[in-house]
Amino acid sequence: MAATAPPYDPTNVAAEELPRTRWWRRTARNRSIWLGGVLIAVLAIVALLAPVLAPYDPTKLAAGKRLSPPSWEHAFGTDEFGRDIFSRVIHGTQLTLYVGVVAVGIGLLAGAAIGIGAGYAGGWVQAVLMRGVDFLYTFPDILIALGLVAFLGPSLTNAMVAVGISVVPYYARVTYSVVLVERNKPYFEAATAIGAGWPRLVVRHLLPNIVPPLIVVATLGFSAAVLSAAALSFLGLGAQPPAPEWGKMLADGRNYIARAPWILVFPGLAIVVTVLGFNILGDGIRDVLDPRQRREVR
């Protein structure tokens, strides 16, 4: 031990790393965030630039080119109506991200409201809200979504709403559990003792503390929502022809699986990449935000 450490100076705050810097460093070193983030970023760019990137009109029929295999002209081949699958997959990205954002948005907002209400109010409010959520939780998500679409009528908008509603119980439960933990921490009691009324307690003190876990859950939930919407479209209850929705493309192409597998392979791959991207990103965010799961990057 030749070198002597500088004497400890408790007033030297500059020596202490700022939390923001540390947060960024952890984020920058996290491979999951990089991989997932890049995948999602590429998808978002593709969705935004779809009209520019797509070489053909995704809905234009071409009777002469039915079921042609991938070629220089049609990178992903064409479907049973001669439509360019590459262009359809690219335009489908728009629909898929849109569906995901709306469905997760509905689920998260309604679920968080229920969870916060139940967790903060307690008593009979909590009992009524959470027993209602438990009741909905007993049904599989897709069954609730199916029922709602059957009731609302098949369309992509209704499918988004239905998927959103079907995941409300999930977000409500997660929010509720986080709120219970936070509201029993001493800082919450201290804020009450300072004289904060309930709106201030919820918005100012509670919300910032429950947002990080909700970001993780929403990112992971995004892929589930995309899958559910694709499933509804596959069943004919979501996007209607000729919309280039990936689930719908799978459904329409399944009769040709032996003769023209490319009709299914490419939209299927697109779904896989999207779901994977959000799952990896969600895992990464959780690693960064949750100190218990935090691990050193190898």
Partner 1 sequence: MAADTVRPILSIRDLRVTFQGGLGLAAAVDGVSCELQRGETLAVVGESGCGKSVTALSILRLIPSPPGRIAGGAIEFDGRDLLALAPEELYAVRGNAISMIFQEPMTSLNPVLSIGTQLTEGLIFHKRLGIREARERTVEMLRLVQIPDPEARLAQYAHQLSGGMRQRVMIAMALACEPRVLIADEPTTALDVTIQRQILDLMVELKERLGTAIILITHDLGVVAEMADRVAVMYAGKIIEQAPVDGLFDHPRHPYTRGLMAALPRLDRLSASGEEGRLNEMPGLVPSIYAMPPGCAFAPRCPFATSQCHAEEPAFEELSPGHYAACWEAGRLP
Site string for partner 1, 18-47 (x = CB under 8 A): -x----------------------------
- Any contact of residue 205 with partner 1 (CB under 8 A)? yes
- Any contact of residue 7 with partner 1 (CB under 8 A)? no
- Any contact of residue 9 with partner 1 (CB under 8 A)? no
Nearest CA-CA partner of 99 in 230, 249, 214, 220:
230
Tokens 């959780």 appear where? 286
The stretch near partner 1 (CB under 8 A) out of 195-203, 221-229, 254-262, 288-296 is 195-203
Cβ-based neighbour number of residue 68 at 10 Å: 18
Positive or negative, the CA dihedral 34, 102, 222, 178 is: positive
- Any contact of residue 153 with partner 1 (CB under 8 A)? no
- Closer to partner 1 by Cβ: residue 17 or 134: 17
Say if residue 224 is exposed, middle or buried (CB neighbours under 10 Å; 0-12, 13-18, 19+): buried
- Closer to partner 1 by Cβ: residue 55 or 208: 208
- Tell me the closest approach of the beta carbon of residue 131 to partner 1, in angstroms: 17
Choice from 24, 187, 241, 293 touching partner 1 (CB under 8 A): 187
- Tell me the closest approach of the beta carbon of residue 217 to partner 1, in angstroms: 18
Number of residues counted as binding partner 1 (CB under 8 A)? 24
Return the structure tokens found at 211: 């947002």
- Closer to partner 1 by Cβ: residue 130 or 231: 130
Site string for partner 1, 81-100 (x = CB under 8 A): --------------------
- Tell me the closest approach of the beta carbon of residue 195 to partner 1, in angstroms: 4
Tokens 């936070």 appear where? 182
CA distances for 172 relative to 53, 138, 144, 165, 209, angstroms: 39, 14, 16, 11, 16
Cis peptide before 242 (omega within 30 of 0): yes
- Closer to partner 1 by Cβ: residue 65 or 200: 200
- Tell me the closest approach of the beta carbon of residue 14 to partner 1, in angstroms: 10
CA distances for 221 relative to 52, 104, 126, 276, angstroms: 30, 7, 24, 12
Choice from 5, 6, 16, 291 touching partner 1 (CB under 8 A): 16
Tokens 């939780």 appear where? 137
DSSP letter for each residue of 74-143:
STT-B-TT--BHHHHHHHHHHHHHHHHHHHHHHHHHHHHHHHHHHHHH-HHHHHHHHHHHHHHHTS-HHH
The stretch near partner 1 (CB under 8 A) out of 73-81, 203-211, 232-240, 272-280 is 203-211
User: Residue numbers of the site for partner 1 (CB under 8 A)?
Assistant: 10-11, 13, 16, 19, 122-123, 185-187, 189-197, 200, 204-205, 208-209
